[in-house]
Amino acid sequence: MLRRPTGWPITLGIALPVEAATTLALPAVLAGAVDAALGRPAGPGALLLLALVLAAAAAADATAAAAGPACSAEATAALRGRLVRHLLALGPGGRLRGGPPPGDLAARLLGSAGDAGGRLPAVLGAATALLTSVGAIVGLGVLSPWLALAFFAGVVPGVVLIRLFLRQAGPVFARYQEVQGVLAARLGGALTGLRSIHAADAEQREAARVLAPLPELSAAGHALWAAQRRTAWQATLLIALVEVAVLTTAGALLADGALAPGALAAAAGWAALGAGLFEQVEALVGVAHARAGQARVDELLALAPAPCGAQTLPADGSGQVELRGVVVRDGDRVLLGPLDLTVPGGRTVAMVGRSGSGKSLLAALPGRLRDADEGTVLIDGVPVGALAPSELRHAVGYAFARPDLVGRTVRDALAGAGPAEAAAAHTDGLLRRLPQGWDTPLDELHLSGGELQRLGLSRLLARPTRVVVLDDATSGLDLATEYLVTQALDHATHGRTRLVVAHRAAVAARADLVAWLDDGRLRALAPHTALLAHPGYRATLSDTALRAAAG
Amino acid sequence: MRGSSPGRELLLRQLTLTRGPLLRMLAWSGVEALPPLVSGLFVSAAVDQGFLAGRPGAGVAWLGGFGAAMAVRAYATRAGFPHLAGVVEPLRDALVERVVRSALSRPSADPAAVARLTEQVESVRQLTATLLRTLRGVGVTLAAALIGLTLLAPAVLPLVLLPLAAAGLLFARLLRPMVARRRAVVLAEERLAAEAGRALHGLRDVQATGTGDEAAEALTEAARESAAASQALGRASALRALVVALGGRLPVLAVLAAAPWLLAHHALTPGELLGVATYLLQQLDPAVRTLAGTVGGWLLSLAVVLDRLATTTAATTADATAGPAHDSSTPGRETAAEVRLAEVRYGHGGGAVPVLEGLDAALRPGEHVAVVGPSGAGKSTLAALLAGVLVPTAGRVTVGGVRPEPARQVALVPQEAYVLPGSVRDNLLWLAPDTDDARLASAVALLGAEALVARLGGPAAVLGDPGELSAGERQLLALVRTYLSPAPVVVLDEATCHLDPAAEERVERAFAARPGTLVVVAHRISSALRADRVLLLDGGRGLLARHGDLQVLSPLYRELVGHWLGSAPRTGAGPAP
């Protein structure tokens, strides 16, 4: 997806200098018109020239007003597009392990990218202001070198002042945005537990917890104002000095007869324009914002996507999944492995174990939802890391305990599933009840855990992957529905390699093999019947407990 | 824009709170108006009485006066800043608080809340600051320039005021379409925020379904729609350039065109003409340009963003306080644990078929009840009604004889466990902050969370990113927390679905032994078997009986149990298919 080149930056690049030129010409043209009015010799048609310059100024002004927002909107959209493509293509550890949480990512996509998108207009605006003030000084110099000299007395400290502001405001503003990101992340986190918060009547308490960094934000905000304050008042003083110096010089020249009265107006105008540069604190703030925003976006763009290859799977592969010497860590702590496991193609392996034994982690490996820190994961003999991303996603499909629905409508969220898949996962009735059916916006959905899981299963069935991973994907269904969905699912994925995270003996019994995980290690790989004798194994399954309870 | 807009009310209410700094800032603005007021007067005096009158000393003195006025202005600028911060920072704080509180008191999570927090609040802060800094300056400049002009050369006033009035009218006409376009920009940004929030929270699913390209394409499209809205707004604001030309520039042209005539009739001196030119070009034109060009745009943005913030955060704030006043006398544990449902009806509103219709049930204090039923039978709705999170459309739900209040009488654990960033202890003592270490340790041991707590680094360890915990681990933490809660009634809404069966059984037995009433929304038949009685929900009604009796009474229950048992091997020796 290439960015369509448009003329807005060029239009803005033309309109702003024209605007600056008319602004610059105005004092001179005005001086001519004043002198003409006073009956002094001036160029012919001085008044007409003034009218022309004013018309050109209005046209340039209007063009710049349209081109500026257009430019930043275009740049922002392009930057956001780049950012989402990058974030969504990062690969394993889609959660950006150790990186910013989703709320912060969203804040950067919306806030920082917007700030950064305004960079060109901000820079062009500041550059034009610079150009205007340089032109004004040249104008002063043309009237009399003395005027330019008087002006320059004030310029050097002014430039120093601007550099100082940018250096001070940059880090202060970055700090401000950082605290903002923390707040956004806290709110995002609290929103995920909204039901618990309501049930605990803890809205006020949680609000206070989310708002805890607010004083810090306030402090950063005050620091920003302090930085602006220093620059602003010094700039005002500087402007005063420059203007008075230039006007006094011009007055002296007027008294000597070296300048016409109109030239005094021109000198006053140009002195103000030249000094106006230092008044452009807002423009500089804009540039500082754009810089800080760009830095926060660049931080995300610098995250390297997980390496992947370009290989394809053998066309006649049976979908064999093989784990060799796999270890997954969190820091120094081993979460899973070392572990070797081969799932023969077309077979079903149930992964059984207590909470935290590493079942979900193991299930995440074949589809590279997480990469192993050591060892290799192979599908039909090809390491998953060497596969082309499109090949991998056509090879492995997932359904989760708590699927996240992505997109604008239910249709988007089902990722290609049709009525047949919906019926297989028993979601057709649910979809019929929705106000706009498949086109219902996700914002308007209020689903129970079980309904959500059934949508996740429809989504899984949309692609005929050779490996199917069910990570606790029916845990939210009621007994009857689970039975029916499991039957349909068995039928729909028949003959494919299936990895099923299971809690129930029924599921384990239907599987060809059971991988019994304990504390991240593979305790045993054997048929359910062979393992049943072991009390530790029975304790991890629900219906064995049921039999004990039922007596 | 007109009438009582909620945004304006919100802003005015907040500004009233900070009126001290606001007034001080405005007072300093008055001081800042000095240079624009005297600029033309002093310059024309310097020319007429000084430089052109052969008295350069006097000219320099007049200009020195002008310089002094500017120095005073610089001081006023400096003095005004802390007051500006004193207005704007509390405004931002108040808005952030409002957004957070309303987001948390909403019935369901609103993904746009985060965008509101970062983007819209920040817009209000920056716009208000810029407006306060600029608008007062511009207003004061405009007034000062017009007063100065009147003092200096009243003859030129009609030439200035007529175009200025025309510009004002034109600007007023442009306001309405620009407000509409500005609103379109804000709405487009909100849509993008909601969609991006879903995609970024669901990165795992995006990868698992291989829909990264489609999701990126859809988000890029949403970003483009937002950009198109911004561009349309830009095109509309281009018309403001006309206002500037009319109000700021035309008077200069008119005065200069009439100048030969005015000079000839002695209505104007050369010095006064220069003074008038100074006022028009240096004060009036920049003021009009700022007012129409920038301030106009900022005011519009502020109005729209504030309205949006006020309306999206208003309704729910009211809701949070709308609940009936509760009886502050805490009922004793025995009676408090009695749960009654009488003719309860609940519908999601509109023409939707009610989820519950005429549900009657009475739970004895200390009883352990399992709730079962097919998907969509209203089990989670019932749980929310019991917890007082939802209010029945008709009928009564009482706990200990009064309407249930969240947290006090009933502790509800939903399926999606909430783990907050903070220490393990903060998480576990969330509902009972005064619990001592011994009780905490015994609860952790009782529910089988010792290994988890140890692995996390003990109670003092800080959970940086709760998303790193597995769903089962999160549930276990939420369960320990609820066990410690002082509420006499506990409702577990599939709160153990991610635990392994042994852990689930351990948890349920611990809760059953806990004093008080236990309601378990079951997703495994084993939960029903462990309960004293089973509440079967079907077709909006309920049937409460012992497991054995219910098998006799209800064919549906027999079917539910049959499905479960039928799909499981009855003996360990069953062959694998």
User: Does A114 sit within 8 Å of B273, measured CB to CB?
Assistant: no
Cβ neighbours around B401 below 10 Å, total? 11
Interchain pair A475, B559: CB under 8 A: no
Distance from CA of A483 to the nearest CA of B (A): 7
Say whether B85 and A407 touch across the interface (CB within 8 A): no
Q: Which of A191, A458, A507 to mutate to test the interface with B (most CBs of B within 10 A)?
A: A191
ipTM of model? 0.81
Q: Do A218 and B93 touch (CB under 8 A)?
A: yes
Count other C-beta atoms under 10 Å from residue B168's C-beta.
16
Question: pTM, whole model, 2 decimals?
Answer: 0.72
Cα(B31)–Cα(B37) distance, rounded to whole angstroms?
10
Please report, in angstroms and rounded to a whole number, the separation of the first and last CA atoms in chain B.
72
At A1 the pLDDT is 39
Distance CA A499, CA A425 (A): 18
Domains present along chain B, CATH in parentheses: 6-318 (1.20.1560.10), 334-567 (3.40.50.300)
Contacts of A221 by beta carbon, 8 Å cutoff, 6+ apart? A176, B85, B88, B89, B92, B125
Determine which of A82-86, B3-7, B321-325 has the lowest per-residue pLDDT on average: B321-325
Which chain B residue shows the shortest CA-CA distance from A198? B389
Sign, CA dihedral A343-A349-A353-A355, equals positive
**pLDDT tens, residue by residue, B98-127:** 988 888 888 777 767 777 777 788 888 988
Mean pLDDT of B186-197: 88
Q: Which of residues 383-422 of A touch B (CB under 8 A)?
A: 389-390, 392-394, 396-398, 400-408, 412, 415
Give the mean model confidence (pLDDT) for residues B410-438: 87
Query: At residue A551, does pLDDT exceed 50?
Result: no
Structure token digits, residue A328:
């997954």
CATH class of the A8-301 domain in this structure: mainly alpha
A92 CB neighbours in chain B (<8 A) are 207
Q: How far apart are CA B241 and CA B221, in angstroms?
A: 31
Which residue carries 């330019």 as its tokens? A148
**With 0-12 CB in 10 A as exposed, 13-18 as middle and 19+ as buried, what is A390?**
middle
**How far apart, in whole angstroms, are the C-alpha atoms of residue B327 and residue B320?**
17
Euclidean distance between CA atoms A420 and A397, whole angstroms: 17
3-state SS of chain B: helix, strand, coil percent to 5?
65, 10, 25
Q: Name the superfamily (CATH) of residues A321-550.
A: P-loop containing nucleotide triphosphate hydrolases (3.40.50.300)
pLDDT tens digits for A65-124?
899 999 999 999 999 999 999 988 887 654 455 667 777 888 889 888 988 998 888 888
B570 pLDDT more than 70: no
Question: Using a CB-CB distance cutoff of 8 angstroms, which residues of chain B are in contact with residue A470?
Answer: none
Q: Determine the longest span between alpha carbons in chain A, in angstroms.
A: 118
Q: pLDDT at residue A293 above 70?
A: yes
Looking at chain A, the whole-number percentage of residues with pLDDT higher than 90 is 25
pLDDT for B573 beyond 70: no
- Residue B15 touches partner A, C-beta closer than 8 Å: no
What average pLDDT does the segment A194-205 reach?
A: 86
Consecutive H or E run containing A233: helix A214-255
Q: Note whether A407 contacts B189, CB cutoff 8 Å.
A: no
Token pair of B165 as six digits: 């009035």
The position carrying tokens 């991006």 is B196
- CB atoms B406 and A198 under 8 Å: yes
d(CA A457, CA A453): 6
B406–A549 C-beta distance less than 8 A: no
Nearest C-alpha of chain B: how many angstroms from A294? 16
H runs (alpha helix) in B418-470: 424-428, 437-446, 450-456
Alpha-carbon dihedral angle through residues B115, B116, B117, B119, given to the nearest 10 degrees:
70
Q: Return the H-helix or E-strand segment holding B241.
A: helix B240-244
Q: What are phi and psi of B74, to 5 degrees?
A: -60, -40
Nearest beta carbon to residue A88 from set B54, B206, B230: B206
pLDDT band at A351 (very low <50, low <70, confident <90, very high): very high
How far is Cα of residue A471 from the mean position of the Cα atoms in its chain?
A: 28
- Given CB atoms, is B72 within the 8 Å cutoff of chain A? no
* Chain A residues close to B431, C-beta within 8 Å: 200
What are the extents of the domains in chain A?
8-301, 321-550
**pLDDT at A549 > cutoff 80:** no
